[in-house]
Amino acid sequence: MNKLTLAIVAIIVIAGGWWLLAPQGAKQPVETGPITIGFIGPLTGDAAAYGEPFRNTVQLAVDEINTAGGINGRQMQFVYEDDKCTGAAAVGATQKLINVDKVQIILGSFCSGATIPSVPIAAQNNVMLFSPAASSPDLTGISKFFARDYPSDATQGKVLADLSYKQGWKTVAFIQEQTDYATGLYQSFDASFKSIGGETSNEAFPTATTDFRTALTKLKSQNPDALFIDVQTAAVGERILKQLGELKWKPKILVSDTMPGEPTMMKNNAIALEGAYAAEFVPDQTNPKLQAMASAYTAKYKVAEVPYLNYMATTYDAVYLIKEGLMAVGNNGEKFGAWIRTVKDWQGASGSVTMEQSGDRASGHKAEIIQGGKAVPLP
What span, in angstroms and rounded, lies between the C-alpha atoms of 225 and 246? 20
Nearest to 321 by CA among 298, 294, 349, 299: 349
pLDDT digits (tens, 9 = 90+) for 272-316: 999 999 999 989 999 999 999 999 999 999 999 999 999 999 999
Q: Report whether pLDDT(228) > 70.
A: yes
Q: What class does CATH assign to 35-151+285-364?
A: alpha beta
Interval 91-106 mean pLDDT: 98
pLDDT given for residue 21 in this prediction: 40
Interval 88-100 mean pLDDT: 98
35-151+285-364 and 154-280 share one fold = yes
The dihedral region occupied by 355, where left means phi > 0, alpha psi between -120 and 50, and beta the remainder, is beta
Topology, domain 154-280 = Rossmann fold (3.40.50)
**Centroid of chain to Cα 284:** 18
The model's confidence at residue 50, banded by pLDDT at 50, 70 and 90, is confident
The model's confidence at residue 262, banded by pLDDT at 50, 70 and 90, is confident
Domain ranges of the chain: 35-151+285-364, 154-280
* Residues, the chain: 379
**Centroid of chain to Cα 156:** 15
